Amino acid sequence: MKRAGYIATVKTEGIDEYKRYHADVWPEMRDALKRAGFQKFTIFMRPNGVTFAYCEVEESLAKAFENVGKEEVNARWGEVMARKRPDTPSVEQTPRPLLPPKGTTGLSLGTPPRWRASD
């Protein structure tokens, strides 16, 4: 199991809808993520729409994204999420892995907070 994370951005006007979708991820999307190798997936969001996603994957974040990219449901989910992303790509919009330095196990920050659609 590998731990990884990435940063992305949500449009300010799309934050509420983004939270609603992620509070109730489609069952078929959850299944696709599991088949792709994602074991755990938690998203943290700042008020400005910058997100940090922490995940645990079987092989690597790149491989898990490659695998889920082959799933039909991922294309549908991606269309919905694309409407919540900025039109101009930015560093924060492009998922990029954040991995603990070699030889370390990373940092444990305790139980991650969860937000609800009503937050």
pLDDT digits (tens, 9 = 90+) for 41-76: 899 999 889 889 899 999 988 899 999 999 999 999
Told to judge if 85 belongs to the known catalytic residues of this protein, a careful annotator would answer no
pLDDT at 72 (0 to 100): 94
Q: Are 108 and 38 contacting, i.e. CB atoms less than 8 angstroms apart?
A: no
| Catalytic site residue from 2, 3, 22, 63 | 22
What residue spans define the domains of the chain? 2-82
Residue 91, pLDDT above cutoff 50: no
Residue 13, judged by CB atoms within 10 A of its CB (0-12, 13-18, 19+), counts as: exposed
pLDDT at residue number 95: 52
d(CA 52, CA 6): 6
Residue 24, pLDDT > 80, answer yes
The CATH number of the structural domain formed by 2-82 is 3.30.70.100
Entry pTM: 0.70
With b for 16 or more beta-carbon neighbours within 10 A and e for fewer, the 67-101 pattern comes to bbeebebbeebeeebeebbeeeeeebbeeeeeeee
